[in-house]
A and B are shown apart, each in its own frame.
Chain A
């Protein structure tokens, strides 16, 4: 079907094409997946506010469908580039959103973390909306590249997967802080009853951090095998992010910094790390 769409889009006369389809196929896929994720957020938020929330498959199906559309988008762009689609900031943002959804689908279902999806979606939508901005989103190249280094592709992809794990850890941290506030101040709200237990949230946060650190370490290790050296500024940023997360895990282990302090730092670190996304292109 995708081939058909691409074929149809390419074969129609340019004027008619713009009349009936003002967006290119990849832009359309980006818009649809963003709308699906935003729809999931709106639906779950409405369910929580009206006391109708329960872990339903409908929400998960919407996210899964959005994920498939997102994959199609990355595939279309990957085919056009002839390489992993992380060649500009817009693509990196979409790839990062995709990585967060993967981690959500893995962790959300394994640990039955209710509302993790609802809390992840605003961040995913924000990343994809930023990706859509003029100047950030680049049009598809007319020709794919001739030479691709698998090592460099692996280096960048694992780095983005690591950032995805850090992003989801930041979401879990936000949920932890909200539930912690409820419990400390003896307050209840509709979210109090549907947020996961704080112990579970903290365990998830820690596991995501460890996964992120391991993936980033692999990414940086792999970069030394690249046929042409990875630029120094990119490596320096990668190492800085890795060291900060390792230090944080070490502080928790050795100094026993509190769970709420950890949660705040994890959120802050992700904001810092996300600021370096522009450096992650290949």
Chain B
């Protein structure tokens, strides 16, 4: 019995190649059948996401030529020559299992520690399990990988902190308000950055969106996209009283939101906190606004610095994660695969 991982990812192949090799959901079942027909192949799980296409294979014997046979099959299925360019990597036994554990934990992702991959691998495994493409070996290895993935996320800081401007904004909003389901979001200036940031907040359940822009038509357009309400730019102060988050990204050369504006707005809010996100350059919101109680102002530099800090903190966790993976591998897969031969 031998365990093999064969695949490409965002580090070894350009998106042009990855999109040609990717398998649509409807094609997976047939592909699994075809890979299983390869000599020595007992079990197969196919993981196909935007950043990777990987085959995890349980082999009857350590057939040295199986990689070539699988690549031949892949080349035919995807109409791509998979042998050239050195894009595919291949690992066996402990190395392959370690790689799977790292993938599930988000250590091999483009955004280090991201959690989406966990669900994607779980879904790929579920499909293979239901299609009868897995057996004792792959079941044990994949179940172990999910337990290890969960353990790494809870025991280390690998997923701690937000690593993009949008997710930092969401994280801060949640540190202020908790659940965003009761929060209203106002967008000042209908630029791309404010759209992306507001979308992140809406995706976490923000109750309402109000868009205000100097060009009312553009405000209407963005409001429709966000299922929100467009208002005239002169009315933003009045409506800000009921909002919880204001995302500002106008192209104004001066401060659009002054301390005097905020003092007036704050008086009418009965002590409710207000989160201001200024992603404009030059800045839209007077930095002195942050001196006011219950008002939390973050500009683009503050958000970017928090994202960078989180990225750095996650990178610092890699070594600890690898030690844990090594330990878990020996504990969970001893007897399932050869955990010592590939050290």
Q: Are B157 and A259 in contact (CB under 8 A)?
A: no
Which A13-33 residues sit within 8 Å CB-CB of chain B? none
By secondary structure, the B interface counts as: helix
Inter-chain contacts of A197 with B (CB < 8 A): 174-178
Inter-chain contacts of B156 with A (CB < 8 A): 51
Distance between Cα atoms of A192 and B293 in the complex (Å):
19
Q: Are B270 and A179 in contact (CB under 8 A)?
A: no
Q: Are B305 and A199 in contact (CB under 8 A)?
A: no
A260 on interface, CB distance cutoff 8 Å? yes
B228 on interface, CB distance cutoff 8 Å? no
B309 on interface, CB distance cutoff 8 Å? yes
Q: Are A258 and B294 in contact (CB under 8 A)?
A: yes
B236 on interface, CB distance cutoff 8 Å? no
Inter-chain contacts of B302 with A (CB < 8 A): 186
Which B261-279 residues sit within 8 Å CB-CB of chain A? 267, 270-271, 273
Query: A52-B155, A197-B176 known; A261 and B306 CB under 8 Å?
Result: no
**Nearest neighbor of B317 in chain A, beta-carbon distance:** A51
Distance between Cα atoms of A79 and B306 in the complex (Å):
57
Inter-chain contacts of A199 with B (CB < 8 A): 176-178, 273
Query: A197-B178, A199-B178, A200-B178 known; A256 and B271 CB under 8 Å?
Result: yes
A193 on interface, CB distance cutoff 8 Å? yes
A109 on interface, CB distance cutoff 8 Å? no
A252 on interface, CB distance cutoff 8 Å? yes
A188 on interface, CB distance cutoff 8 Å? yes
Inter-chain contacts of A150 with B (CB < 8 A): none
- Nearest Cβ in chain A — how far from B172, in angstroms? 7
Inter-chain contacts of B154 with A (CB < 8 A): 52, 54
Distance between Cα atoms of A260 and B161 in the complex (Å):
25
Inter-chain contacts of A200 with B (CB < 8 A): 178
B160 on interface, CB distance cutoff 8 Å? yes
A183 on interface, CB distance cutoff 8 Å? yes
B290 on interface, CB distance cutoff 8 Å? yes
B233 on interface, CB distance cutoff 8 Å? no
Distance between Cα atoms of A92 and B261 in the complex (Å):
51
- Nearest Cβ in chain A — how far from B329, in angstroms? 21
Inter-chain contacts of B270 with A (CB < 8 A): 256
Question: Could you give, for residues 239-255 of chain B, a 1 whenever the CB lies within 8 Å of some chain A CB and a 0 otherwise?
Answer: 00000000000000000
A105 on interface, CB distance cutoff 8 Å? no
Q: Are B160 and A193 in contact (CB under 8 A)?
A: yes
Distance between Cα atoms of A273 and B248 in the complex (Å):
45
**Nearest neighbor of B296 in chain A, beta-carbon distance:** A183
B216 on interface, CB distance cutoff 8 Å? no
Which of A179, A182, A193, A199 has the largest number of chain B CB atoms within 10 A? Answer: A199
Distance between Cα atoms of A137 and B177 in the complex (Å):
44
Inter-chain contacts of B273 with A (CB < 8 A): 198-199, 259
B88 on interface, CB distance cutoff 8 Å? no
- Give the number of residues in B that approach A within 8 Å (Cβ atoms): 27
Q: Are B175 and A192 in contact (CB under 8 A)?
A: yes
Q: Chain A contact residues (Cβ within 8 angstroms of B): what range?
A: 20 to 34
Which B164-184 residues sit within 8 Å CB-CB of chain A? 172, 174-178
Q: Are B293 and A261 in contact (CB under 8 A)?
A: yes
Which of A179, A183, A184, A259 has the largest number of chain B CB atoms within 10 A? Answer: A183
- Nearest Cβ in chain B — how far from A261, in angstroms? 7
Q: Are B309 and A188 in contact (CB under 8 A)?
A: yes
B146 on interface, CB distance cutoff 8 Å? no
B118 on interface, CB distance cutoff 8 Å? no
Inter-chain contacts of B161 with A (CB < 8 A): 188, 193
Q: Are A259 and B271 in contact (CB under 8 A)?
A: yes
Distance between Cα atoms of A197 and B294 in the complex (Å):
13
- Nearest Cβ in chain A — how far from B20, in angstroms? 40
Inter-chain contacts of A85 with B (CB < 8 A): none
Inter-chain contacts of B160 with A (CB < 8 A): 51, 193
Query: A198-B176, A258-B271 known; A51 and B157 CB under 8 Å?
Result: yes
Inter-chain contacts of A260 with B (CB < 8 A): 293-294
Which A190-221 residues sit within 8 Å CB-CB of chain B? 192-193, 195-200
Question: Could you give, for residues 248-282 of chain A, a 1 whenever the CB lies within 8 Å of some chain B CB and a 0 otherwise?
Answer: 00001000101111000000000000000000000
Query: A51-B157, A199-B273 known; A184 and B290 CB under 8 Å?
Result: yes
**Nearest neighbor of A52 in chain B, beta-carbon distance:** B155
**Nearest neighbor of A198 in chain B, beta-carbon distance:** B176
- Nearest Cβ in chain A — how far from B276, in angstroms? 12
Q: Are A183 and B176 in contact (CB under 8 A)?
A: yes
Distance between Cα atoms of A179 and B175 in the complex (Å):
8
Inter-chain contacts of B293 with A (CB < 8 A): 258-261
Which of A51, A54, A186, A193 has the largest number of chain B CB atoms within 10 A? Answer: A186
Distance between Cα atoms of A50 and B294 in the complex (Å):
31
Inter-chain contacts of B174 with A (CB < 8 A): 197
Pairs A-B, 6 closest by C-beta atoms: A258-B293, A197-B178, A51-B157, A186-B302, A183-B296, A200-B178
Which of B's residues lie within 8 Å of A, judged by CB?
154-157, 160-161, 172, 174-178, 267, 270-271, 273, 290, 293-294, 296, 298, 302, 305-306, 309-310, 317
**Further contacts, 19 of them, CB under 8 A, given A52-B155, A198-B176:** A51-B155, A51-B157, A183-B176, A184-B290, A186-B298, A186-B302, A186-B306, A188-B161, A188-B309, A188-B310, A192-B175, A195-B175, A196-B178, A198-B175, A199-B273, A252-B271, A258-B271, A258-B293, A259-B294
Q: Can you give 20 A-B contacts (C-beta < 8 A)?
A: A51-B155, A179-B175, A182-B175, A184-B296, A186-B306, A188-B161, A188-B306, A188-B309, A192-B175, A193-B160, A197-B174, A197-B175, A197-B177, A197-B178, A199-B273, A259-B271, A259-B273, A260-B293, A260-B294, A261-B293
